[in-house]
Amino acid sequence: MSQVLLLNTSYEPVAVITHRRALSLLDRDRVVPACDESIELVGVTAVLKIPTVMRLRRYINVPQRGARWSRKAVLQRDDYTCAYCGVRAGSEQRGRVLSRTDMTVDHVLPVSRGGKNNWGNTVCACPACNSRKGGRTPHEANMRLLWEPKTPRVSYLVLSGDVPAVWKVYLEW
Ligand SMILES: [Zn+2]
């Protein structure tokens, strides 16, 4: 990983930037290091150290671009935890251990009733809650959401591959 994570003054991730851009921000004194880990760039005259996480000195407004919705992203957002009963993948249900692939995406307002594939209308649900709810609304099924489904906050960061350990604390949904 040869990139730098840029944080807002509030420690919210803003972007993943290149060394070059990181260097330019450092040069202009726009950022402060936010972790001890750094990457060394060997130049002609000197070795430059660039922190792998940097924080802006001044707050910037980041437009809330919508995260790309997908079933997998919903499960990740909810940490593979059922939004109705709170059971999490890895724990036991009806005598067997639930795996991540057992967890389903439930449409709060069912698709058959016009419910959409979007962040606000979808939650992770365990197989038991999913079948109990069926094609009904939570109200009709007498079920309650444990939390309100929301658009993930750090969604505008497009990350691929392994995320450095020092970034993880900032990237948790
Ligand atoms: Zn459940």
**Residue 81 to residue 75: CA distance in whole angstroms:** 8
Domain assignment present for 142 = no
CATH number at residue 106: 1.10.30.50
Domain assignment present for 138 = no
Same domain, 10 and 38: yes
Q: What's the pLDDT tens digit per position in 73-106?
A: 999 989 999 999 999 999 999 999 999 999 999 9
List, for the chain, all residue ranges whose pLDDT scores fall below the cut of 50.
1, 155-156, 173
CA of 83 to the centre of ligand 1 (A): 7
Q: What's the pLDDT tens digit per position in 57-69?
A: 998 877 666 678 9
The reported pTM is: 0.56
CA of 124 to the centre of ligand 1 (A): 9
The domain tally of the chain equals 2
Distances (CA, A) of 149 to 27, 31, 72, 82, 130: 41, 33, 15, 12, 16
Letter for the amino acid at 39?
Answer: I
CA of 148 to the centre of ligand 1 (A): 15
Nearest-10 Cα torsion for 127, 73, 163, 172: -80
DSSP state, 118?
S
CA of 146 to the centre of ligand 1 (A): 10
pLDDT at position 64:
60
Range of the domain at 158: 4-64+154-171
Domain assignment present for 145 = no
